[in-house]
Amino acid sequence: MRVPKYVVILTGVVLALLALLWLVPDVYALFLALTREIGVAGGPIVRQFTLDNLIAALGADGLGRYLVNSLVVAFSTVVLVTVCASLCAYAISRLSFRGRTVLYASLLLTLMVPAAALAIPFFVINKALHLFNNYLGLILPYSALGIPFALVILKNFFDTFPRELEEAAIVDGAGVFRIFLTIVLPNTLSSLTVVVIWTFLNAWNEFFLALLFMTDDSMKTISLAPLSFQGMFQSQEGSLMAILVLISIPTLLLYFALQRQLEKGVQGGALKG
């Protein structure tokens, strides 16, 4: 299709403008984090470059603890979701058992369930199991809510994975579990990466349940940090912005490092699902 030259030029201009517009909040946050106001009575507000905010943020009490808590919760959720979903997806895709269709359909329905609608039962369950201020109090619900998405991605992959390899292994006398571990899983890496990234991001950024179940300062996750520090840095918006910038760095790094897989996940998973 030949595209007129003016369309190409116009496109470039429009895209550039949109990208700039999209960057405004990021740049604004960075700007506030890296500058401070120098008061001139009555005059215009002038801001001057400083690293003080970042230093204050890095030294903020408990930030390291929040980070560790989030790492523990997010990694455990990733492991649990990956193990449960890949086993279940393989069984649904390859093995025959009673209730297969029902199981898949009901797990898919979970994709739509809003976490807010389950907050009260989760609260009651965690209370009964004494899981408040306990990593498991977040890991288990996050996993239950995260498995359906992983299941869709992995089942779609298994459905298109050629059976010949597995059939050859059966002739060699290998059991189902060994086939799954040694032949299927190593070929699933690209889909597994998608599952791992998305599960990690969701667990890392989750806020509602963390707010309910992690009431002790020593157990709070990183998504609760901004609210805790909001009070501390009440009048110093620069330091608060520095905190926000700091806690965004891990997910942004993850995104830049695994951009292609992440985008493929958005496109492949959603289109087929």
Partner 1 sequence: MSLEIVPPAAQEQSTPLSSRVKSRKRRGKRQHTIAYLFITPATLLFLVFIVYSIAYNLYNSFQGQTFYGTTVFVGWRHFSSMLQDPVFWLALRNNGVWFVVCVGIQTVLGYTLALLLDLKVLGGRFVKTMIFAPVVLSPVVVGLVWGHIYDPYQGLISGIWHASPNWLGSPQLVLLSVATVNIWQWTGFSMLLCLAAVQDIPRELREAATIDGAGYWTTARYVLLPLLTPATATLLILGLIGSLQTFTLVFVMTRGGPANASQVLGTYIYQKSFVEGNLGYGSTLSVVLLVITLVLTVLQLAFFNRERRGA
| 122 lies in the site for partner 1, by CB under 8 A | yes
Contacts of 107 (CB under 8 A, 6+ apart): 88, 147, 148, 151
Residue with tokens 């297969």: 100
C-alpha to C-alpha distance for 162 and 91, rounded to whole angstroms: 15
Residues 186-245 that bind partner 1 (CB under 8 A): 201, 204-205, 207-208, 212, 222-224, 226-227, 230, 237, 240-241, 244
d(CA 236, CA 247): 17
Please report whether residue 128 would count as binding partner 1 according to CB under 8 A.
Answer: no
Distance CA 14, CA 18 (A): 6
Q: Which of 46, 55, 181, 266 binds partner 1 (CB under 8 A)?
A: 266
Give the distance between the most distant pair of CA atoms in the chain: 86
Question: What token pair was written down for 25?
Answer: 């909040």
One residue of 71, 72, 79, 115 binding partner 1 per CB under 8 A: 115
Task: Give the integer Cα–Cα distance in Å for 71 and 46.
Answer: 39
Query: Which lies closer to partner 1 via its Cβ, residue 59 or residue 114?
Result: 114
- In the set 53, 54, 63, 90, which binds partner 1 (CB under 8 A)? 90
* Residue (72 or 136) nearer to partner 1, CB: 136
**Binding residues with partner 1: total (CB under 8 A):** 105
Amino acid present at 42? G
Listed ranges 57-65, 96-104, 130-138, 186-194: which one lies at the site for partner 1 (CB under 8 A): 96-104
CA distances from 12 to 1, 9, 113, 260 (A): 18, 5, 40, 23
Least distance from C-beta 179 to partner 1, angstroms? 8
Q: Which of 84, 136, 183, 232 binds partner 1 (CB under 8 A)?
A: 84
Q: Is 133 helix (H, G, I), strand (E, B) or coil?
A: coil
Site for partner 1 in 129-158 (CB under 8 A): 140-141, 143-145, 147, 151
Contacting partner 1 (CB under 8 A), which of 24, 40, 41, 105? 24
Give dist(CA 242, CA 260) in Å, integer.
28
Binder to partner 1 among 170, 181, 189, 257 (CB under 8 A)? 170
CA-wise closest residue to 31 among 47, 43, 7: 47
**Least gap, CB of 52 to partner 1 (angstroms):** 18
Strand partners, 181: none
Q: Which stretch binds partner 1 (CB under 8 A): 47-55, 57-65, 115-123, 130-138?
A: 115-123
Q: Give the shortest CB-74-to-partner 1 separation in angstroms.
A: 12
Figure out which of the listed residues 85, 153, 194, 242 binds partner 1, where binding follows CB under 8 A: 85
Beta strands in the chain (DSSP E): 35-38, 46-49
Q: Which is nearer to partner 1, 71 or 144 (CB)?
A: 144
